[in-house]
Amino acid sequence: MATKYDTNPLDPDFPAKIKAEAEALAATQTLGYTGPETRQFAEPSEEQTRRFVPSDTSGYAQPYTGQYVPAHYQTAGFADQSISRKVEKAGLPENVVTALPYIPLYIGIVASLLILLFVPKSEAKARFHAAQGLAIHIAILIVTSLLGVLGNITGVARAGSVIFQLAMTVMLIVWAIKAWKGKPVHIESVDGLTNWLEEKIAVKS
């Protein structure tokens, strides 16, 4: 038993106890795992790993514009109103009425006068083409008359008159076709006469 005069107050058996405990700890065996048995997954078959067929995205080929449009959608065509709509008092489709004033010779002059005399001002498009067609015919008659007078003096003026009439006949046919198709026809050189004719020749109430 240790006394107060001992220089080492520790238990003399302490080193032996520590050594015994270390040996006992080293001899301890690791317990086996007693939990659930680990399952082994079967290898995936070819059917499970085959690639899916890509989805049909043909309907989305066009860039997105904020509005969904089906792939097979077709915009409904609108009928040309100038063909189906009848001009008041004339009883003819609008495209026919606007083309008649540009027909060469006196047919265009007569058609222009009839339209201006019987078609009301509410039919602005028909009356404009009638006045413009009449103005063109008047201008052609004036130029042709002047060239005819000069043709009595010189043969050059006579040849110029023939060329002018042929050229204007072709132009009138072109303008008539454009008006019939609904395309704009505007001859700036006769604007003043066109406005005057459209204002002065009107339906009598």
pLDDT score recorded for residue 123:
92
Contacts of 101 (CB under 8 A, 6+ apart): 108, 111, 112, 115, 129, 130, 132, 133, 134, 179
pLDDT score recorded for residue 76:
42
**93 three-state secondary structure:** strand
pLDDT score recorded for residue 190:
93
- The radius of gyration computed from the CA coordinates of the chain, to the nearest angstrom, equals 52
Residue 198 CA to residue 125 CA, distance in Å, equals 11
**123 three-state secondary structure:** coil
pTM: 0.58
Residue 116 CA to residue 113 CA, distance in Å, equals 5
140-149: long-range contacts (C-beta < 8 A, 24 or more apart)? 140/165, 140/168
Average pLDDT over residues 150-179: 87
pLDDT score recorded for residue 90:
83
Residue 130 CA to residue 197 CA, distance in Å, equals 9
Average pLDDT over residues 15-34: 65
149 vs 99, residue with greater confidence: 99
Orientation of helix 124-151 relative to helix 106-118, angle to 10°: 140
pLDDT score recorded for residue 13:
72
pLDDT score recorded for residue 26:
63
Average pLDDT over residues 173-200: 94
Residue 98 CA to residue 129 CA, distance in Å, equals 6
CB-based burial label for 139 (10 Å; 0-12, 13-18, 19+):
middle
Residue 45 CA to residue 49 CA, distance in Å, equals 6
Task: Using a pLDDT cut of 70, give the percent of the chain over it.
Answer: 62
